[in-house]
Amino acid sequence: MTVLDTALPPSPPTVRREALYFALRNGKLLVGLGVITVFLATGLLGPMLVAASPNDYVGLPMQPPSSEHWFGTNTFGQDIFVQFVHGLRTTFAVGVLGGGLAAIIGMVVGFVAGYRGGLVDEVLNMLTNIILVIPTLAVLLIINAYLGIRSVGVQALFIGLTSWPWAARAIRAQTFSLRSREFVDLARLSGARAWKIIVREIAPNMSSYLFMTFILLFGGSILIASSLDFIGLGPTEGVSLGLMLQNAHQWSALHLGLWWWFIPPGAGITAVVGALYVANVGLDEVFNPKLRET
């Protein structure tokens, strides 16, 4: 190997193999992804394996967990496990849709503001600040006053349109530091358009950062949706883990000692969001050599 060879940066396949090597040895990442995979599989496959609908009255009310009803029944005789698996699917759907929309908006605003700078940056930064100071709960109350039926899609749309500013600011800062690099200058001198430079040159160098940003937005969307469900501002149709907690609170499950009604959805939300953040920490250690455990 010559001196010139040692001075060359590692090739993309080498970088990918190195990342995979450390990913397979990172306990936080493996545990986080394992928990997410289990709950995701339950949410996707569970509703197809259970025969009953989440709103069906399948047994006696207030029955504790048993072999017939794994999570027991509520005060109406509805199977809580059936509601749980259906609620997991809805919770993941809101997280993916809301977090994905917020990530797309944040990336577009952050990349354009960071690369263009000047007046464009000032306008987009002003828009970001406006969204940051808008009282989202008050806006949601007003929207609910005019919407007779609230759906999961509407909830995800609202979350996505209001939770992107911090991501846009972070991506803008990263773009500012990359737009003056030599490879960006070369692409600019070759006559490439701005959007091609962003997509082909800047974004690939931030791929790991963008992926971790989506994970954080995914977990944040689940928390926001669960909070809205709990205070009665969730979808009017269907079931989610947040709506299960809201119903358990509304019908005094805690006072009646029906612990099997509120613990599963609460534990499910905590486990999914916690696993997402643990996996995000693990990814940070994989992609950042300074944080890797030796």
Q: What's the pLDDT tens digit per position in 188-205? A: 888 888 899 998 889 988
**Section 13-28 average pLDDT:** 74
Assess whether pLDDT exceeds 90 at residue 262. Answer: yes
- Give domain status of residue 1, yes or no: no
Res 2: pLDDT: 40
Burial of 208 (0-12, 13-18, 19+ CB in 10 A): middle
Question: Tens of pLDDT along 123-148?
Answer: 999 999 998 888 877 777 777 667 66
Contact between 213 and 167 under an 8 Å Cβ cutoff? The reply is: yes
For residue 136, being part of any structural domain is answered with yes
State percent of the chain over pLDDT 90.
50
Containing domain of residue 181, as a range? Answer: 14-60+69-291
pLDDT of residue 285: 85
**Residue 208 confidence (pLDDT):** 85
Distance in angstroms (rounded) separating the CA atoms of residues 13 and 179: 24
- What CATH number did the domain enclosing 149 receive? 1.10.3720.10
Q: Is residue 3 one of the residues assigned to a domain? A: no
Is the pLDDT confidence value at 105 over 50? yes
Number of domains composing the chain: 1
* Residue 9 within a domain: no
Domain membership flag for residue 6: no
Q: What percent of the chain has pLDDT over 70?
A: 91
DSSP-derived 3-state class of residue 68: coil
- The rounded distance, in Å, linking the Cα atoms of 99 and 163 is 8
Identify whether 46 is part of a domain.
yes
User: Is the residue at 4 inside a domain?
Assistant: no
pLDDT at 1: 40
What are the DSSP calls for 199-224, one per residue?
IIIIGGGGHHHHHHHHHHHHHHHHHH
- 292: region left, alpha or beta (phi > 0 left; psi from -120 to 50 alpha): beta
